[in-house]
Amino acid sequence: MAKIKPSKGAPYARIMGVGGYRPTRVVPNEVILETIDSSDEWIRSRSGIATRHWASDEETVTAMSLEASGKAMADAGVEPHQIGGVIVATVSHFQQTPAVATEIADRLGTVKPAAFDISAGCAGFGYALTVAKGMITDGSAEYVLVIGVERLSDLTDLEDRATAFLFGDGAGAVVVGPAQEPMIGPTVWGSEGDKSDTIKQTVPWTDYRDGTVERFPAIRQEGQAVFRWAVFEMAKVAQQALDAAGITADDLDVFIPHQANMRIIDSMVKTLKLPDHVTVARDVETTGNTSAASIPLAMERLLATGQAKSGDTALVIGFGAGLVYAATVVTLP
């Protein structure tokens, strides 16, 4: 039997740079109230959201990704030709094939990298980051570009009182590269498919194509069920990620949860008993829920505003449709 040579990857991986892009149009709650019977006070009390960004026709999934990726590569000091992998986490790129990652990779000027998309909803960034880490330590790439990008305004039913105010658009990207010490911890991830009906697309694309339904498919969710699951079950997953990394809540500097809902974030902080010194990302207030883009966008804003700094230890966790989840501890770039 022939022996396979061992991989010659880096011992560990790290996030080297981060970039973000938010569409220019800022949409306040007053715009949402034009199509649903609600109030600004109700939206803020239920979600913590005051504004969100919606993309124009020119701010496509590709265009937003290119903007965020350029900033991430500049922040990391990595040139396009050094990128060996491009992974895009998204649920709102409507061309089934080819993967949008291939177009992004080409337009960035990379040289024949592995390029593919991941569909894991709001946990997509965590899934993509974990795959990128494996590529670095396996030796199949020296640097990997991870992008979370969404145009959820395309999947929002503005007449659905339960979801019309939730979603926003944007792109966040990070460059993952080699490290000589652990800077991305073990990932605690998984799925609970028995709960898939709690967040889902209203109908398959084929129903719209065939004329079975007249309304374009949109995202629906059972708010209370999702809230309970996120607060109680995802707090457990977050704790497992801390345990897997060998640290405690006291060792944390930053907490970056998926920006789904301010009440969920605050409840998780309480359940995890995070100390007062831990900076908590609350980007949802002005960005809304951007699914796979929410964690890198929140990370970028914390670093840009000085609320977090390079070298800080951060717990990140994404969770959503599937239901799927992914949590890990990282060192901020």
Catalytic residue check, 289: yes
The sign one gets for the Cα dihedral 282, 324, 333, 235 is positive
For 316, counting Cβ atoms within 10 Å of its Cβ (0-12 exposed, 13-18 middle, 19+ buried), the class is buried
Q: At what angle do helices 124-138 and 294-304 cross, to 10 degrees?
A: 80
Q: At what angle do helices 262-272 and 234-245 cross, to 10 degrees?
A: 50
Catalytic residue check, 277: no
Catalytic residue among 53, 93, 122, 261: 122
Catalytic residue check, 261: no
Catalytic residue among 93, 258, 261, 277: 258
Structural contact between residues 177 and 136, judged by C-beta atoms closer than 8 angstroms:
yes
In the sheet that holds 279-280, the strands lie side by side as 188-191, 324-331, 313-320, 254-257, 279-280
Structural contact between residues 50 and 81, judged by C-beta atoms closer than 8 angstroms:
no
Q: Which two tokens stand for residue 42?
A: 């109700």
Catalytic residue among 29, 53, 93, 289: 289
Which residues are marked as active site?
A: 122, 258, 289
